[in-house]
């Protein structure tokens, strides 16, 4: 994506898009990291001369480098089964209270700490000199500089959210070498110009941004004031509020809310909801790509016929999603959907219900009042999901931009380049002036949603 940013200008042009396809080989689910690197380089060539480049990606996953800077193996996908059972064992040993007090992070089985525990004793990890999270790895390939951008570092469960530093004591007690982790860097800091050997037009500078995609997406939420919740809605739904300080209470830990670091020292207080992965993976099983048609038919299905808890860990790995959804319905005594449209309706009702629960809990646990829910990311295009989310939350939903992550990424770069000034509120004001959003008013009574919630027993 190429962004143009100035005091009254903000637009994005897509110059190159490539698939990110996992590869299961020799019993392990990998990322195809060289295909991704090629996609990045092709994209930068297609972009032509630009002032700077910022890299963001999903969180928690990493590549290991040896002392010469060579990549050791293919990064493993966080949905790989190597972490099965690891989180429970390690968290019990370290103490869930201590883990939360230090890192403020939600327990997800694939947090970097558990991936490293699963990889313990492997030759790759033993000889590794550096561990680089995915966007830091790409930035290293572009510049030759190692570093760890803080928003993504905060997702490892090895980062001290209050001290804003690596949690080295925790690393030692978890059997992880602290020397693996490079120095931290803040979003907005300059990394280095791209290496001349890459032959990229104009040799732009690489600038650290909110390298966790969700951190950039939250910058890209066109909210005014602070009384809003956001749902960064794509493969995952990341549902929460933006705070100045972490919430580290026992209630917050039990509700599995996370305190991830945001741009400008903010806290992204949120919960991971399984998201449109449920739909993407169902469509893969059905061999269909016609989402508009599926959504049209799902809209005609009866509401609340079957609801499931989308956060059921059974849905995490790749595989036959419609079968797992049917099984979850059967287990919960819900009618089993018999058609793709019925399954899609079950997914969307269930996601809207999970959005409702997370927005309400975020308010209760943080004390922040929410008046509007912003839906950004690919899910902002899904009118049925946006409407159901408004209905479920009993709040207006403002949907868009779809490319919030790219907007958040370029806005932080533009501020470093001096093309715009100000805090997150100023960056968001520019978004509001230049980008369209779609408003969904809540319809119907809350009682039906409450009843569905009770049926689910969550």
Question: Applying CB under 6 A, which residues contact ligand LFR?
Answer: 58-60, 78, 212-214, 235-236, 238, 272
- Round to whole Å and give the CA distance between 100 and 26: 35
Minimum CB–partner distance for residue 256 and ligand LFR (Å): 12
Please identify, using beta-carbon distances, which residue of 213 and 403 lies nearer to ligand LFR: 213
Element (DSSP H or E) covering residue 281: helix 277-286
Three-class SS of 288-342 = CCCHHHHHHHHHCCCCCCCCCCCCCHHHCCCCCHHHHHHHHHHHHCCCCCCCHHH
> What would you measure as the largest C-alpha separation in the chain, in angstroms?
63
Residues 206, 136 contacting (CB under 8 angstroms): no
- Residue with Cβ nearer ligand LFR (207 or 238): 238
Query: What's the angle, vertex CA 28, arms to CA 23 and CA 33, rounded to 5?
Result: 45
Is 114 or 236 the residue whose CB approaches ligand LFR more closely? 236
Cα–Cα distance, 97 to 85 (Å, whole number): 19
Q: Which residue's structure tokens are 């990394």? A: 191
State which residue, 268 or 345, has the beta carbon closest to ligand LFR: 268
Helix (H) or strand (E) holding 64: strand 62-65
Q: What's the DSSP call for residue 395?
A: S
State in angstroms the smallest separation of the CB of 110 from ligand LFR. 7
Asked about 213 being catalytic, the answer comes back as: yes
Q: Which of 32, 56, 213, 349 is catalytic?
A: 213
Minimum CB–partner distance for residue 21 and ligand LFR (Å): 16
Rounded least distance, CB 405 to ligand LFR, Å? 8
Residue 436's Cβ-count burial label (10 Å; 0-12, 13-18, 19+) is exposed
Give me the least distance between CB of 229 and ligand LFR, in Å please: 16
Distance CA 122, CA 76 (A): 13
Minimum separation from the CB atom of position 58 to ligand LFR (A): 4
Enumerate the active-site residues: 213
């Amino acid at each position: 994506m190429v962004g143009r940013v100035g005091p009254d200008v903000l637009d994005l042009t897509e110059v190159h898009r490539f698939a990110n396809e996992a590869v299961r080989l020799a019993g392990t689910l990998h990322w195809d990291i060289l295909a991704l690197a090629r996609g990045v380089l092709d994209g930068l060539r297609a972009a032509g001369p630009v002032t700077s480049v910022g890299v963001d990606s999903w969180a928690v996953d990493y590549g290991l480098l040896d002392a010469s800077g060579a990549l050791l193996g293919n990064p493993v996908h966080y949905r790989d089964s190597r972490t099965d059972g690891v989180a429970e064992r390690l968290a019990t040993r370290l103490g869930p209270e201590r883990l939360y007090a230090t890192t403020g992070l939600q327990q997800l089985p694939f947090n970097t700490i558990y991936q490293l525990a699963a990889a313990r004793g492997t030759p790759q990890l033993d000889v590794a000199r550096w561990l680089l999270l995915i966007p830091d790895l790409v930035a290293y390939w572009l510049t030759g500089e190692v570093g760890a951008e803080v928003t993504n570092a905060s997702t490892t469960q090895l980062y001290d959210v209050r001290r804003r530093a690596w949690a080295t004591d925790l690393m030692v007690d978890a059997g992880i070498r602290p020397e693996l982790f490079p120095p931290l860097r803040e979003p907005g800091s300059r990394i280095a110009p791209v290496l001349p050997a890459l032959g990229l037009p104009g040799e732009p500078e690489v600038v650290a941004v909110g390298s966790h995609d969700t951190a950039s997406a939250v910058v890209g939420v066109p909210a005014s004031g602070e009384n809003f919740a956001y749902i960064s809605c794509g493969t995952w739904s990341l549902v929460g509020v933006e705070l100045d300080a972490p919430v580290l209470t026992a209630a917050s830990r039990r509700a599995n809310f996370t305190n991830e670091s945001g741009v400008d020292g903010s806290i992204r207080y949120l919960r991971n909801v399984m998201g449109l992965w449920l739909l993407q993976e169902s469509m893969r099983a059905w061999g269909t790509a016609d989402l508009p048609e599926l959504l049209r038919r799902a809209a005609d299905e009866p509401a609340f016929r079957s609801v499931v808890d989308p956060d059921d860990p059974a849905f995490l790995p790749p595989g036959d999603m419609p079968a797992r959804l049917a099984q979850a319905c059967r287990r919960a005594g819900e009618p089993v959907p018999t058609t793709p449209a019925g399954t899609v309706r079950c997914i969307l009702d269930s996601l809207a219900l999970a959005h409702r629960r997370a927005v309400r809990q975020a308010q209760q646990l943080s004390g922040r009042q929410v008046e509007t829910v912003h839906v950004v990311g690919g899910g902002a295009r899904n009118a049925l999901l946006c409407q159901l989310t408004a209905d479920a939350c009993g709040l207006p939903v403002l949907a868009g931009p779809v490319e919030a992550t790219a907007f958040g990424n370029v806005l932080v770069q533009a501020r470093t380049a001096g093309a715009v000034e100000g805090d997150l509120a100023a960056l968001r004001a520019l978004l509001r002036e230049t980008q369209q959003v779609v408003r969904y008013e809540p319809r119907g009574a809350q009682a039906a949603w409450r009843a569905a919630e009770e049926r689910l027993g969550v």
